[in-house]
Structure 1
């Protein structure tokens, strides 16, 4: 198979498009045409959509949206110069488009109508795929990646859109990788990606759908065949004023505007509430003892670095089957069960599917073993208090674990309230806590470290270090670790860069931890992961 690169465009190679007049009619838009005949502008064929004036291609609809600090229409001259044939904007942006000589469709809510326009121009690609949408504070990437890897193991043409970017295997077996910035891309990019997958023969696409995407209309005009809710815990309270608002945003996915049916984890009260309030048919699942659900994980047992468990279905003992989670911990039991139910919902089920899920269901940067002996080194994306608690509790339960050394921090320009909470969690569950830098972004790294440190009680039994520089912190953990210890490097997972002062510097926790463990005096080469 040939390998793809992140330079591939997030749009189809060919697009039949739609006429400007047809689009104006569909959106109920007012067409403004500076210095030309309206009939000529209405006859223009639109073959692509973009928000970025720098990425305009000839024949594009350019969407000029209001922003926090500026209006997209301020860049109308650049969009016109690059070949945009029409703009989509609101009343506030209409004047700038007119001055640039760019015909415009003027609507009341340009952000909402951007998604409608993209779906029309790209031929409603979401309707031509089997689609799965996953939302929740934690587990989105794990569930979508498990599904994708399982389908690839089964020889299916599959795609995945999410935190780690967009990748897919096409109908001829070639792999494609497209770099995307947001967990859920902006609507033109999302519909363009789906159209490209349709063009290349992809059968199934799994998507992470964030609360931001649901509020900001990024996921509009995509009605997934099945939606999944994994959990809800504190995060993104820099965007959502309250947990109630955060829940309300997530719950939008479980309405007919966004999904046809749902799969909901009821291990927490948020999930139980969603199962009651969803306006699409819902199937529930649970992993906690005493929690009733349509599908329950019971008899959970360790299996090397993973777990095996029994699923009790709605028909009771006669419907029982045994599944394997390729990664340890109850949360990966939940993720595996979710992936199984979602695959079943789109018609992919059977013993061969269960077997593939048990071996292929690993996720880069999620409880990923870098080394297993003499010191176990684990890299995990846990960047919320709940996820960090789950990761540490899971590692504590792995047989043979001696001490746990946790390298952790918190991201800048994000929810500040969770920083001391994460410090408290780390000190409660780890033996050694090394507080360092995550992605400081535009904030002072020392101030973020101090906020995390403030959450650790004065009487904590944990040995605490505060270290400037993520590489230095990982090196310290490796030097302090002894045979049988486990090092958890949390927060960034499979990320290959670190954002400091708005500049992304190359940095991969996995590579640095592997090198640090190999450099330990007398350690020899660390024993790698044995294939899980």
Structure 2
């Protein structure tokens, strides 16, 4: 039996109308899901305000309402709890309701602009190979040991997180690796969780539609490390100029990794080609199937984390050599016609630059590098010309196309991308609004030994147009077109 006052443990209260000594069933922040004897948490969202649905929740049987502003109408028999921040309250309540499941396993959060999915997913792979029961909360999927669930957000809401963590407890999971987004931190989705460690990958231009400034974006990421307990570790990339900023005020034990700077965990790239990476990590050599300098950073973070969580050096290196690429992260195949097609989630200027520079460092320059790229609608518009500049400067040919236009006009988005193209690169550009046709165009441009990069959507298996998600998988489409062309 869940008593409201127990569920409110750690929640800063402003006012209470009614009794908190009542038994409640469930907790919801969506009024449509409320039923008899539930608690409704009214959240001021970016699209709608939960306070507008308090009456509806009460009509549906809510026994208690958590809100930032008390409603004008107080219904007898219903408890109203006023709090300063409903999202923070929801996070503490979710943890209490599910009996603080994060305390019963070692939860490690991965934050940064690029690399979160790769680092979290490969740590899940590595610790599974090492014989542990492992959990994963990522953009691509949620894993409870061997059971897979569909992911809806990079960092889910706090009720969903704690629900999955409780499932992990019941399944005997010992370690869980979790992507921590800036939205998730800002909206208190990770509040109330007990972390055993935090990893910082890098910080580049992203989400400035939400955070308004780069400084605000950086400070939100830093808040995650500020909140780590003294018992945790904080692992940061000090080749990134924001790496040391992240751990300035943390109570956690501080560790650093780098390719260029002095650090606790240091790596050197010995070989880098389409066969993989050959690295020297702290004087030990290891080969990995992953490709590119950005993946050298990811592997180094994974190696450091595995040691900090108790694996031996030999174990860490052995399992690193067996890791497979993550879905939509530099996934590639070579067609019968000897065309290499690469699908990558690169949807920020820095990520696109990293991928293109990696390909250029590997190729012989006798081949064409054809990039297919777009930008998402209803998102940060300032990065669009930057994406256009990078794609056209670092590719031999570029096809600008639609990504997830959402409610925007895809042609208008492409026009904004094209503004970043310098005059000497105009001749490289083709614009094809239909993404499938754009991929086909790139395939028709490609000859033997040429390379096609399809960037921006990676693991996504849909395209979102005017609120509707239609099936769309870059890897399946390019594979199908190249096979069809080779018949």
For normalisation by structure 2, the TM-score amounts to: 0.93
Could you tell me whether the CA contact under 8 Å between 2:133 and 2:174 is conserved in 1?
A: yes
CA separation of 1:243 and 1:198: change in aligned 2, threshold 3 A: same
1:32 alignment partner, one of 14, 17, 25 = 17
* 1:64 corresponds to: 42
Deviations 1:361-414 (A, max 9, x none): 421000001435510011000000100011011112225561110000111111
1:43 partnered with 2:22: yes
* 2:268 corresponds to: 298
Deviations 1:432-469 (A, max 9, x none): 10000011111111110000011001112761101011
2:245 alignment partner, one of 270, 273, 276 = 273
Superposed displacement of residue 237, structure 1: 0.8
* 1:121 corresponds to: 97
* 1:237 corresponds to: 208
CA separation of 1:99 and 1:59: change in aligned 2, threshold 3 A: closer
* 1:161 corresponds to: 137
Could you tell me whether the CA contact under 8 Å between 1:329 and 1:394 is conserved in 2?
A: yes
Could you tell me whether the CA contact under 8 Å between 1:431 and 1:461 is conserved in 2?
A: no
User: Aligned equivalents of 2:137 and 2:87: distance in 1?
Assistant: 21
* 2:124 corresponds to: 148
The number of residues matched between the two structures is 483
User: Aligned equivalents of 1:270 and 1:76: distance in 2?
Assistant: 42
2:4 alignment partner, one of 15, 20, 32 = 20
1:261 partnered with 2:236: no
Could you tell me whether the CA contact under 8 Å between 2:139 and 2:155 is conserved in 1?
A: yes
User: Aligned equivalents of 1:85 and 1:326: distance in 2?
Assistant: 55
Q: What pairs up with 1:411-422 in 2 under 5 angstroms? A: 411-422=376-387
1:134 partnered with 2:110: yes
Deviations 1:110-166 (A, max 9, x none): 221111111111111111111110100100001001111122223321111121232
| Secondary structure in 1 matching 2:128 | helix
State the superposition RMSD in angstroms: 2.2
Could you tell me whether the CA contact under 8 Å between 1:76 and 1:100 is conserved in 2?
A: no
* 1:408 corresponds to: 373
User: Aligned equivalents of 2:64 and 2:394: distance in 1?
Assistant: 57
Could you tell me whether the CA contact under 8 Å between 2:277 and 2:291 is conserved in 1?
A: yes
Could you tell me whether the CA contact under 8 Å between 2:63 and 2:77 is conserved in 1?
A: no
Could you tell me whether the CA contact under 8 Å between 2:144 and 2:167 is conserved in 1?
A: no
Q: What pairs up with 1:216-235 in 2 under 5 angstroms? A: 216-235=187-206
User: Aligned equivalents of 2:229 and 2:211: distance in 1?
Assistant: 20
Unaligned runs of 5+ in 2: none
Superposed displacement of residue 27, structure 1: 3.0
For normalisation by structure 1, the TM-score amounts to: 0.86
Could you tell me whether the CA contact under 8 Å between 1:411 and 1:440 is conserved in 2?
A: yes
| Secondary structure in 2 matching 1:27 | coil
User: Aligned equivalents of 2:368 and 2:332: distance in 1?
Assistant: 16
* 2:181 corresponds to: 210
Superposed displacement of residue 344, structure 1: 1.7
Superposed displacement of residue 199, structure 1: 1.7
CA separation of 1:331 and 1:32: change in aligned 2, threshold 3 A: same
Could you tell me whether the CA contact under 8 Å between 2:401 and 2:414 is conserved in 1?
A: yes
* 2:356 corresponds to: 392
Superposed displacement of residue 492, structure 1: 0.4
* 2:450 corresponds to: 485
User: Aligned equivalents of 1:420 and 1:304: distance in 2?
Assistant: 30
Deviations 1:210-241 (A, max 9, x none): 11111211110113111011001111111122
Unaligned runs of 5+ in 1: 1-16, 313-319, 525-532
* 1:317 corresponds to: none
User: Aligned equivalents of 2:78 and 2:22: distance in 1?
Assistant: 15
* 1:74 corresponds to: 52
